[in-house]
């Protein structure tokens, strides 16, 4: 096995050689401190002139930021360093010299960093966020596999628009019109009738003209769908899943959360069950808080969601929204026809909606009426309607936005830092 910085604790008091980049450096006449990174972690290399001789010492002193090297040295325990170890450097071989690396240790503006995203990813902070993203994905697969769900991959090129027709990315499918998927849900409903409990994880496209800290044009969504599961049980799966992911990140990303300065006491508390508030009560609450402009039937904006979330120290479900502001496929409440059996899960600390979910209409006639009222083509949705003709059953599901969830867990302000190469309203580069 080759030595990496993350496993260097196995080589204490041994001399090792490994590949690394120079992240940063300090030096005086007699000693140089090299901040080395190899992708797996960071370690300080100490170069002492008296020990290595003039040639190696001057090589160390002239190393430029992000130059790649093979470094040979002895690993020693150093309690004061963040990694717990230090490398007493014996030799340096330069692989490639990096000249005028654009991202220096000084402060840069966000647009500049975004233009250099291909390099910015190397920074300690960005690498930490990517590791947390990886942990959320890992824990997601673990949770659903442990609970009897089958991973199913819905198509990306589709002929339908489950979440409304205004935010579609249209493309040509030979002679036909097609769209990039804005949700795999409809296909996951078919899959749930085949496999019982299913989940998907894939890219999702929304041509939203929103320029907020919560919106991406291309984002990744986890979409579970369950046959025979109704409204309340759907919420229970969601709170179990979100708790599992947060606790996994706390356990497995201690170093990364620390590097990001995340207040982990806020995350430790994220354990099911989560509070629930009905849309009706949320409206009353907002009126009490002085949001006079909002009336029953309006959708919530970010300030409304934040105000509601601030009353809780866990994510909160807002349940049973008015029918008029939700998609065509949601099951109406059996007790009153003007609201649907849906819930949005709002994260704490102002991170907004991380999940949208609902019980789906399983009655053929009702679904047909809904499609017609929404002006959707019965031809396009023929297959989806047919699911209600051959052994239809109550079923429910939800979609969790990966980037908003990672932003919340990491404590980073904007979703653009939670995806390797963000697609934003004004950004397709790099
Ligand atoms: O609430 P949404 O639109 O729900 C659906 O697409 C359902 N079909 C899901 C389902 O029931 N299977 O999206 C679900 C989640 C949101 O709660 C949010 O976390 C995320 O996807 N999301 C976005 N994330 C980043 N940028 C955007 N533009 C997003 N739009 C939605
Ligand atoms: Mg939503």
Same structural domain, 35 and 78: yes
Q: Which ligand has the shortest distance to the CA of 416? A: 1
Atom of ligand 1 nearest to the CA of 397: 11
Residue 160 has pLDDT above 80, yes or no: no
Range of the domain at 232: 117-418
Centroid of ligand 1 to alpha carbon of 103 (angstroms) = 34
Determine, yes or no, domain membership for 102.
Answer: no
Work out the mean pLDDT of the chain and round it to a whole number.
96
pLDDT in tens, 346-396: 999 999 999 999 999 999 999 999 999 999 999 999 999 999 999 999 999
Model-level pTM?
A: 0.97
How would you write 306-360 as a 3-class SS string?
Answer: HHHHCCCCCCEEEECCEHHHCCCCECECCCCCCEECEEEEEECCCCEEEEEEEEE
Mutate to test the pocket of ligand 1, among 219, 225, 309, 317 (most ligand atoms within 8 A of CB): 219
d(CA 270, CA 265): 9
Same structural domain, 91 and 130: no
pLDDT recorded at residue 105 = 87
Mutate to test the pocket of ligand 1, among 384, 404, 406, 414 (most ligand atoms within 8 A of CB): 404
Ligand 1 shell residues, CB under 6 Å: 162-163, 183, 185, 206, 208, 215-216, 219, 221, 223, 353-357, 397-399, 401, 403-404, 415
* 234: Cα within 13 Å, side-chain hemisphere: 30
CATH of residue 314: 3.30.930.10
Which amino acid residue places its CA nearest to atom 22 of ligand 1?
Answer: 401
pLDDT recorded at residue 390 = 98
Determine, yes or no, domain membership for 199.
Answer: yes
Determine, yes or no, domain membership for 105.
Answer: no
Which amino acid residue places its CA nearest to atom 27 of ligand 1?
Answer: 215
Determine, yes or no, domain membership for 427.
Answer: no
CATH of residue 27: 2.40.50.140
Same structural domain, 162 and 88: no
Q: What is the mean pLDDT of residues 146-172?
A: 89
Centroid of ligand 2 to alpha carbon of 429 (angstroms) = 27
d(CA 406, CA 351): 10
Atom of ligand 1 nearest to the CA of 224: 12
Place of tokens 């902070």: 125
Same structural domain, 304 and 246: yes
Write the CA distances from 213 to 134, 380, 428, integer angstroms. 21, 34, 17
Q: Which ligand has the shortest distance to the CA of 404? A: 1
First to last CA, the chain: 34
Band (pLDDT 50/70/90 cuts) for residue 83 is confident
Whole-number percent of the chain with pLDDT over 90: 95
Residue 2 has pLDDT above 90, yes or no: no
pLDDT recorded at residue 82 = 81
DSSP 8-state assignment for residue 270: -
Mutate to test the pocket of ligand 1, among 401, 416, 417 (most ligand atoms within 8 A of CB): 401
pLDDT recorded at residue 185 = 97
Band (pLDDT 50/70/90 cuts) for residue 166 is confident
Atom of ligand 1 nearest to the CA of 215: 26
Edge to edge, the sheet with strand 395-401 lists 150-151, 197-205, 218-227, 395-401, 352-360, 342-347, 316-319, 276-278
Which amino acid residue places its CA nearest to atom 2 of ligand 1?
Answer: 356
Looking at the structure of the chain, the number of domains it has is: 2
Determine, yes or no, domain membership for 429.
Answer: no
pLDDT recorded at residue 231 = 98
Residue 91 has pLDDT above 90, yes or no: yes
Same structural domain, 124 and 30: no
Domain boundary among 62, 96, 130: 96
Same structural domain, 88 and 140: no
Q: What is the mean pLDDT of residues 51-67?
A: 97
Which of 74-83, 245-254, 409-418 shows the lowest mean pLDDT across its residues? 74-83
Same structural domain, 165 and 301: yes
Centroid of ligand 2 to alpha carbon of 30 (angstroms) = 60
Same structural domain, 59 and 171: no
Determine, yes or no, domain membership for 340.
Answer: yes
Residue 133 has pLDDT above 90, yes or no: yes
Centroid of ligand 1 to alpha carbon of 220 (angstroms) = 9
* 280: Cα within 13 Å, side-chain hemisphere: 5
Same structural domain, 32 and 181: no
Residue 37 has pLDDT above 80, yes or no: yes
Determine, yes or no, domain membership for 108.
Answer: no
pLDDT in tens, 289-329: 999 999 999 999 999 999 999 999 999 999 999 999 999 99
Q: What is the mean pLDDT of residues 58-85?
A: 96
Centroid of ligand 2 to alpha carbon of 242 (angstroms) = 16
Mutate to test the pocket of ligand 1, among 226, 356, 361 (most ligand atoms within 8 A of CB): 356
Mutate to test the pocket of ligand 1, among 161, 201, 204, 221 (most ligand atoms within 8 A of CB): 221
pLDDT recorded at residue 45 = 98
Q: Which ligand has the shortest distance to the CA of 328? A: 1
Same structural domain, 80 and 182: no
Same structural domain, 126 and 17: no
Same structural domain, 10 and 129: no
pLDDT recorded at residue 34 = 98
Atom of ligand 1 nearest to the CA of 188: 12
pLDDT in tens, 185-240: 999 999 999 999 999 999 999 998 989 999 999 999 999 999 999 999 999 999 99
């Amino acid at each position: 096995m080759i030595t990496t910085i993350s496993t260097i604790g196995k080589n204490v008091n041994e001399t090792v050689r490994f590949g690394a980049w120079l992240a940063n450096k300090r030096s005086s006449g007699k000693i140089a401190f090299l901040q080395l990174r190899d992708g797996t972690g960071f370690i300080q290399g100490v170069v002492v002139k008296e020990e290595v001789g003039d040639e190696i010492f001057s090589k160390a002193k002239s190393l430029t930021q992000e130059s790649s090297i093979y470094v040979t040295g002895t690993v020693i325990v150093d309690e004061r360093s963040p990694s717990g170890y230090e490398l007493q450097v014996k030799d340096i071989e330069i692989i490639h010299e990096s000249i005028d690396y654009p991202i220096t240790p000084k402060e840069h503006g966000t647009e500049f960093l975004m233009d250099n995203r291909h390099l910015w990813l190397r920074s300690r902070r960005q690498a930490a966020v990517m590791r947390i993203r990886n942990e959320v994905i890992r824990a997601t697969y673990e949770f659903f596999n442990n609970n009897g769900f089958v991973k199913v991959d819905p198509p990306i090129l589709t002929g339908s628009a489950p979440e409304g027709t205004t935010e579609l990315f249209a493309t040509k499918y030979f002679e036909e019109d097609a769209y990039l998927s804005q949700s795999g849900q409809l296909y996951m409903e078919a899959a749930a009738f085949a496999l019982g409990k299913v989940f998907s994880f894939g890219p999702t496209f929304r041509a939203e003209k929103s320029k907020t800290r919560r919106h991406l044009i291309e984002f990744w969504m986890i979409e579970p769908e369950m046959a025979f599961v109704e409204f309340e049980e759907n919420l229970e799966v969601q709170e179990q899943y979100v708790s599992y992911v947060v606790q996994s990140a706390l356990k497995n990303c201690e170093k990364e959360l620390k590097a990001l300065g995340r207040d982990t006491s806020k995350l430790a508390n994220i354990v099911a069950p989560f509070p629930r508030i009905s849309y009706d009560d949320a409206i009353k609450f907002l009126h009490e808080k002085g949001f006079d402009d909002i009336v029953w039937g309006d959708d919530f904006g970010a300030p409304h969601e934040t105000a509601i979330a601030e009353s809780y120290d866990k994510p909160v479900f807002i349940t049973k929204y008015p029918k008029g502001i939700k998609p065509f496929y949601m099951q109406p409440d059996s007790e009153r026809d003007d609201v649907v059996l849906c819930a949005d899960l709002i994260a704490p600390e102002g991170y907004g909606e991380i999940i949208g979910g609902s019980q789906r209409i399983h009655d053929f006639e009702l679904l047909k009426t809904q499609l017609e009222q929404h002006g959707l083509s019965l031809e396009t949705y023929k297959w989806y309607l047919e699911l209600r003709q051959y052994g239809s059953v109550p079923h429910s599901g939800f979609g969790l936005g990966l980037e908003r969830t990672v932003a919340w867990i990491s404590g980073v302000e904007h979703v653009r830092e939670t995806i390797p190469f963000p697609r934003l309203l004004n950004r397709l580069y790099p």
